[in-house]
Each structure stands twice: as C-alpha cells, then as structure tokens.
C-alpha cells in the first residue's frame, strides 16, 4: 500500500483531473501534521507537472516565516486572459506583484544574498493569482491541509514587464482592484513587507528541491488585497500606478 504522503497526493491529483472528485477534506490518517509533511505532499503533486512555470511565496507579516509552492507552467498565462467558469468554479482572485527570474539560481552551499537575488531579477509585473481548490471549501480545512494543496493555486495571469522597477517604493505603492468596472478594493503595500526577502528565502530554501529558481520563471509574492471571489462572467482588472495593469475575464 502507498505511504500516506503518496496517498494524499493521489487524492489531490485526482481532484485536479476531475473537479467532481474534490474533497471535503483529506482523510484524518492522511492529513499533514506539520509543514514538512504538507510540503512533501505538494512536491509529489508538483513532480507530475510537465514544467514549473513559477512559484508563489508569501507571509502574513513582515517578520513571519514564508510559505511557498510551485506553479504548473500550463497555468501561467499573459494578460488579458479568459477563463471558463465551467472549469473554474471557485473563481478566487488575488492582486499581486511578481518578479521574473532572468538567470538561474541553482542550489549552492553559500546562501544567495539580497543583492545577488535582485541582480537575477529581469523584471517586475502586475499579476493576478487565480484561486481554485481541490477541496469543496478551502476555508473549512486546516492550514497544513491547505498548504499541501499549494494554498488553492489555480492559475496565474501576468501583465507587461517593468524592467526599471528598482526605484519603486513598494511600501507606498497602491493597488486598485476592479470587478466589472467598479472599484472593489484598494490597498497600499504588501502585508508581507519586503517582497525581495521572500524571493531570497525561496532561492535559498523553498525551491531547492526542484533545482532552485530558473530563468524565465515567475515568482509571485503574495496577495495585496486578500482573497475575493467573483461571479461566473466577471471581468477583473488590477492596477498598480508604477507597474500598470493586468486583466482576467471569466466566461460562462
């Protein structure tokens, strides 16, 4: 019989292939007890991806430890994007800022410095993380069980690149999130604080199981606005004054 990590990963993979197999929860015997177990399940699932197109990394506060997950390349798409509601039933959205990696940062004995990671970033982009879950209600399961499912990652939409991003004061940058033309939410700054701190951690710890960060991958650094859910024909636009905008539209 497969070990509990493999069994849990198999259930999540089945729900990825067929939304009708979404879970109320993982069986008690398969629920991850800690981050190590949650990541082990995540990595089993990610090992089936044809390619890793990027990473999500975030933290609930400036001093909180980050958490992360690999993003399947097939779900990384440019703006403006269209997504069918028939296959996107949760329709969760999060306004984010992401960075595109310009050169490989493979695992090495000496940790990468803040300066080295900045030098490896090719561009910043406005982004929308699309949330879908392998659970019927992701808010009803515990944090480690959600982490095993990559915190409900369901897709990623990125806007045009900004290569001269170094002078942007992200602590004072404002985001505006519009749904069907109406301003739904606005906020100044990312709750995680210094986003480069998150990318440094990802380079040195979070991504090393997959060979580190690779040129061309996106690293999206957590929600500025928190999770929102939208209707089956919603048109979403996220705007950052210094980065531009990104759009996704759901189609019935």
Going by C-beta distance under 8 Å and a sequence separation of 6 or more, which residues neighbour residue 235? 179, 180, 181, 247, 248, 249, 250
Q: Does residue 113 belong to any structural domain of this protein? A: yes
| b/e code 68-101 from CB counts within 10 Å (16+ = b) | bbbbbbebbbebebebeeeebebbbbbbbbbbbb
CATH number of the domain at 157, please: 3.90.850.10
CA 131 to chain centre: 9
Residue 244 belongs to some domain of the structure? yes
pLDDT on residue 149: 98
Q: For residue 29, tell me if it sits in a domain.
A: no
Q: What range does the domain containing 90 cover? A: 51-251
In which residue are the tokens 């808010």 written? 139
pLDDT tens per residue, range 95-108: 999 999 999 999 99
Evaluate whether residue 83 is within a structural domain: yes
The position carrying tokens 């369901």 is 154
Quick one: average pLDDT of 215-234? 97
- pLDDT score of 216 more than 80: yes
* Total domains present in the chain: 1
The whole-number pLDDT of residue 241 equals 98
The answer as to whether 35 is a domain residue is: no
Question: Which residues sit opposite 248 in a β-bridge?
Answer: 81, 236
Q: Is 2 helix (H, G, I), strand (E, B) or coil?
A: coil
242 CA to centre of own chain = 21
Any domain includes 183: yes
């Amino acid at each position: 019989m497969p070990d509990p990590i493999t069994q849990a990963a198999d259930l999540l993979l089945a729900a990825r292939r067929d939304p009708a197999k979404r879970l109320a929860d993982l069986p008690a015997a398969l629920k991850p007890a800690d981050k190590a177990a949650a990541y082990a399940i995540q990595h089993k699932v990610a090992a089936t991806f044809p390619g890793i197109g990027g990473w999500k990394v975030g933290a609930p506060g400036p001093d909180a430890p980050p958490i992360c997950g690999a993003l399947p390349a097939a779900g990384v798409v440019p703006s403006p994007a269209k997504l069918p509601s028939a296959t996107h039933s949760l329709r969760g959205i999060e306004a984010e800022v992401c960075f595109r990696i310009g050169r490989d940062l493979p695992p090495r004995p000496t940790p990468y410095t803040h300066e080295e990671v900045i030098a490896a970033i090719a561009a910043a982009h406005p982004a929308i993380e699309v949330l879908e879950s392998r659970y019927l209600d992701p808010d009803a399961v515990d944090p480690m069980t959600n982490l095993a499912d990559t915190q409900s990652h369901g897709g990623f939409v990125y806007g045009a690149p900004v290569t001269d991003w170094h002078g942007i004061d992200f602590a004072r940058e404002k985001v505006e999130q519009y749904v069907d033309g109406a301003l739904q939410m606005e906020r100044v700054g990312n709750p995680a604080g210094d986003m480069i701190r998150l990318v440094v951690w990802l380079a040195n710890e979070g991504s090393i199981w997959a060979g580190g960060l690779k040129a061309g991958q996106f690293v999206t650094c957590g929600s500025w606005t928190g999770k929102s859910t939208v209707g089956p024909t919603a048109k979403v636009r996220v705007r950052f004054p210094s980065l531009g905008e990104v759009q996704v539209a759901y189609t019935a």
